[in-house]
Amino acid sequence: MAAVFDLDLETEEGSEGEGEGEPEFSPADVCPLAELRAAGPEPVGHYEEVELTETSVNLGPERIGPHCFELLRVLGKGGYGKVFQVRKVQGTNLGKIYAMKVLRKAKIVRNAKDTAHTQAERNILESVKHPFIVELAYAFQTGGKLYLILECLSGGELFTHLEREGIFLEDTACFYLAEITLALGHLHFQGIIYRDLKPENIMLNSQGHIKLTDFGLCKESIHEGAVTHTFCGTVEYMAPEILVRSGHNRAVDWWSLGALMYDMLTGSPPFTAENRKKTMDKIIKGKLVLPPYLTPDARDLVKKFLKRNPSQRMGGGPGDAADVQRHPFFRHINWDDLLARRVDPPFRPCLQSEEDVSQFDTRFTRQTPVDSPDDTALSESANQAFLGFTYVAPSVLDSIKEGFSFQPKLRSPRRLNSSPRTPISPLKFSPFEGFRPSPGPPEPMEPPLPPLLPPPPPLPSSTAPLPIRPPSGTKKSKRGRGRPGR
C-alpha cells in the first residue's frame, strides 16, 4: 500500500537544537513554511505523494547477488563449497575479474564453532586493509549459501612455486618472509592472530607480491595479556603451546613463520613424521636439525622463531613484528619501500591475460564451473546465525580463494626437484617424514613450554633484497595433496 509523507522542509538555520548562546530569530528570519503553518492546513493537492517501494527506499549501493557474476573457472574446492573465477556482468566494475568463494550454510551451521569462524572470517576481511592481506569486495547470501567476492590473485599459491623450485635461495625467502612479517604485524596490531600460516594460504598477485588469505582460523580481540585455547591449525606449522593446550597468543604466528622459513630453505617443515601423533611429539620435544648450507643469520633467525617458550621467541615480546624486522637476516630490506610495493618481487607470474589461471591446479581449472542449485531451506533460527553477512566494500579493491578448516590438518609432503643447490636427502622410512638435511650436527631445542605473553607497537625501517631467477622446469603434480578446507 502506498503511504503519503507530509514533507516538512526546514532550512538549516531554522532547525531545532542549535545550542545555548545562539541569537533568537525574529519571525521575519524564519522560513516561509512557518507562515504556511500559521495559516492553517494546506489542501492535500499541495503535498508530494511518495510511494514506499524498494526503489525509493533502497537508494544506496547496488543490490548484489549471484546473478551479477558470470562463472569462468573453478579455482578450488573443499568440504564447505567451491571457489570460482568470475566476471562481474552487472552494476559497477563491469567486466572485472574476481574470485567467488561459495559456502554452504547447511554444512557450516552443524557446528557452532564453524559458524563463529565463518562470521569472523567475513568480519576480518571487511575490517583489515593492508597491501599484503586479501581484501573483501562484496559479501552476500541466498537461502542456502554464503558468497564472498574477493580479488582474483592470479599468481597462484606460494605452495605451487615452492613445489616447483624445491627450495628458495635466501634472498628470495627473505623477500617473501619480509612481506609476511608486515602482514602479521598489522593483524597483531589489530588484536588478530592468524593461526594457519602455511604456503597454501599465501597467494601471489599478478605482480608477484604476497597476499595472506583464508582467515577462517583467525581469533580476534587478543590484546594485552589475553590468550585463547582453541586447538586448530595445520599440524606441521602449529606452535607447541597450541598442541599442549596451555593457552596461546600472537606468538604462535611467529613460530609458524619460523616453520615456513625452514620449509622455504630446506624443502619441508622442521618437524614431520609418518602420522599426526609423531609429528606433534617432535614439535613438543624433538631436536631441530639445521642444514650446514644456511648462512649464520638464517640459522639464528630460524632458531629464534622456533623457541618453545613463547616469551623467548623472536616476535614474542612486546615489540612483536618490530623485533623481527630488526634481525640481521632482513638487513637489506627497506621496509618503507617494501610496504609501498616498490621492491621488485623475485618471481613475476607469466600471465597472458586477467583471466589466465595457469598458476592454479589443473585438477580444478579443467572442471566445468557450476554453482549447484540453492535448494537447501534453513530454519529461521539457523539463518539468524548469518545476520549482517552482506557487505559491499566502500572501494572495491583486492582479494582471493581460501580453504576453511577447524580441525587441525596433517599436510602431505612436497616433491622436490633434484637440484645441485638442494643438499638434502629424503628419509627412508616414510613419505610423511619429508626431507632431512644431510651432514651437520643436530641443534637441540629448548625444553617444553612455560607461560605466555602480551602484544606490540608498530614498525621501523632499513634496503631491498635481491631478486632470484624465475622458477624453472615444469610444474610438478601435487602428489597426494588433498586441498584442505572448504
Please state the residue numbers annotated as binding site for ATP: 101
Alpha-carbon gap, residue 92 to 88, rounded angstroms: 8
- Is 361 designated active site? no
In the set 8, 29, 196, 300, the catalytic residue is: 196
Mark the binding-site residues, compressed into ranges: 101
Which position has the grid cell 537447501?
376
What is the CB neighbour count within 10 angstroms for residue 61?
Answer: 14
Alpha-carbon gap, residue 262 to 299, rounded angstroms: 9
Task: Please give the distance of CA 64 from its chain centroid, rounded to a whole number.
Answer: 23
Q: Which residues are catalytic?
A: 196
